[in-house]
Amino acid sequence: MRWLRFAVLILTVTVLQKGLLGRLDIKPDLLVILLVFFSIYSNTSEAIISSFTLGFAADLIGSPMPMGPHMISFGLLGTALAYLHRVIAIRKMPSQALAIFITAILTSTLTHFLAYLIKGEPVSANIYGVVFGTSLYSGLVGPFLFLPLAWWMRIKISRFGQRWAHK
């Protein structure tokens, strides 16, 4: 895993998510897309580290939500996805889209639940629509971003065959 490229990638994505996409009502969650990508295409230890790091990045840009819920939900679900990928290969685009959609819904739900339970953050009435819309948008857009991500991280992927990691 090329950690310097990973760090640059996370910084770029957080700036895009908070700056360019921040003013949109419904937007794709780029950090969840990255979470699923690294859970599928990294080994387990790297997937764990990258999941928690992505969660920390989501906490940094998640203001006014307190810090902590994103890191826990990303870490848990990223690790679970990494182990699930050992059993069920998530190679084809439809299955990747479904994985992103489900992961986005679960991370948002867990995040808001933890924030409500621990910090007493109120949940707004239209939260369900926002979560569903964001998850759907991420699921539709996410698989198309996997190729440029793989190019940047120097990971050779084949959607129809074995994965070879470039060393």
Partner 1 sequence: MARKQIRVRIPKRYNMSLWSPSRRMLFIWCMLISFILLFAPQNFTSKFQLAYVRIFRWPLSIGGHFALSTQTQMPLQDVVPRREYDKLQTYRANLEETLNQQRMKFEKLYGLYNKYVWEGVNFALADVITATINGSSNELTISCRENIGLVKGQFVLGDNSIIGTISEVSSGTACVKLFTDPTSAIAVKIGKLNVDRMMRGNGDNSARVPLIEAKYKIKIGDEVFASSNKSKFLDAPVKIGEVAQLKKDEKDPLFWDITVKPACDIEKLDDVAVLVMNP
Task: Write out the residues near partner 1 by the rule CB under 8 A.
Answer: 11, 14-16, 18-26, 43-45, 48-49, 52, 55-56, 59-69, 71-72, 75-76, 79, 83, 86, 112, 114, 118-119, 121-127, 129-130
- Rounded to the nearest whole angstrom, what is the least distance from the CB of residue 90 to partner 1 in the complex? 15
- Please name the residue that has the structure tokens 């310097």: 4
Q: What DSSP assignment string belongs to 67-135?
A: SSHHHHHHHHHHHHHHHHHHHS---SHHHHHHHHHHHHHHHHHHHHHHHHHHH-----TTHHHHHHHHH
For partner 1, which is the closer residue by CB, 56 or 152?
A: 56
Closer by beta carbon to partner 1, 11 or else 93: 11
Long-range contacts of 113-122 (CB under 8 A, 24+ apart): 114/68, 114/69, 114/72, 114/73, 115/65, 115/66, 115/69, 118/66, 118/68, 118/69, 119/66, 121/65, 121/66
Of the two residues 89 and 147, which places its CB atom closer to partner 1 in the complex? 89
Q: How far is the CB of 107 from partner 1 (least distance, A)?
A: 13
CB of 3 to partner 1, least distance (A): 15
- By C-beta, is 11 or 147 nearer to partner 1? 11
**Nearest-approach distance from CB 24 to partner 1, in angstroms:** 7
